[in-house]
Amino acid sequence: MDIKKELWGTTSCGKEIYRYTLTNSNGASVQLSSVGAGIVSIRVPDREGNLADVVLGYPDPMSYFADGPCAGKVPGRYANRIALGKFTLDGKEYTLPVNNGPNHLHGGPQGFQNKVWESRIDGDAVEFLYDAEDGEMGYPGALKAVARYEWSEENDLRLTLTARCDAPTIVNLTNHAYFNLNGEGSGDILSHILQLNASEYLPTDDTLIPQGESVPVAGTPMDFVTPKAIGRDIKEDFPALKYGKGYDNCWVIDGAEPGQIQTAALLYSPESGRTLEVLTTQRGVQVYTGNWLAGCPVGKCGRSYNDYEGVAIECQNFPDAPNKPDYPSPVLRPGETYEQAIIFAFGVRE
Return mean pLDDT, the chain. Answer: 98
331 has which bridge partners? 170
202/307 Cα distance (integer angstroms):
23
Contact 40, 17 (CB under 8 A): no
Q: Is 215 exposed, middle or buried (0-12, 13-18, 19+ CB in 10 A)?
A: middle
342/174 Cα distance (integer angstroms):
8
150/160 Cα distance (integer angstroms):
9
H-helix or E-strand spanning residue 260: none
CA–chain centroid gap for 219, Å, is: 27
Res. 38: pLDDT tops 90: yes
Peptide bond into 43 cis (omega under 30): no
Res. 48: pLDDT tops 90: yes
Return the CATH number at 278. 2.70.98.10
The residue annotated as part of the active site, out of 127, 150, 309, 314, is: 314
pLDDT digits (tens, 9 = 90+) for 12-31: 999 999 999 999 999 999 99
Q: Is 156 exposed, middle or buried (0-12, 13-18, 19+ CB in 10 A)?
A: middle
For residues 258-297, one letter each, b for 16 or more C-beta atoms within 10 angstroms of the residue's C-beta and e for the rest, the string is eeeebbbbbbbbeebbbbbbbbbbbbbbbbbbbebbeebb
Contact 214, 243 (CB under 8 A): no
pLDDT digits (tens, 9 = 90+) for 161-213: 999 999 999 999 999 999 999 999 999 999 999 999 999 999 999 999 999 99
| Banded pLDDT at 350 (limits 50, 70, 90) | confident
pLDDT digits (tens, 9 = 90+) for 93-130: 999 999 999 999 999 999 999 999 999 999 999 999 99
The residue annotated as part of the active site, out of 104, 106, 176, 192, is: 176
pLDDT digits (tens, 9 = 90+) for 304-318: 999 999 999 999 999
Q: Is 176 a catalytic residue?
A: yes
* Amino acid 135: pLDDT: 98
* Amino acid 79: pLDDT: 98
Three-state DSSP state, 216: strand
Three-state DSSP state, 223: coil
318/327 Cα distance (integer angstroms):
7
Find the domain containing 230 and state its range: 2-348
pLDDT digits (tens, 9 = 90+) for 215-235: 999 999 999 999 999 999 999
Q: Among 45, 47, 43, 44, which Cα is nearest to 271's?
A: 47
Instruction: Give percent of the chain with pLDDT exceeding 90.
Output: 100
176/286 Cα distance (integer angstroms):
10
Q: Is 192 a catalytic residue?
A: no
Please give the tally of structural domains in the chain.
1
H-helix or E-strand spanning residue 242: helix 239-244
The predicted model scores a pTM of 0.98
> Dihedral (C-alpha) 169, 170, 174, 176: value to the nearest 10 degrees?
-100
DSSP label at 295? Answer: T
DSSP label at 47? Answer: T
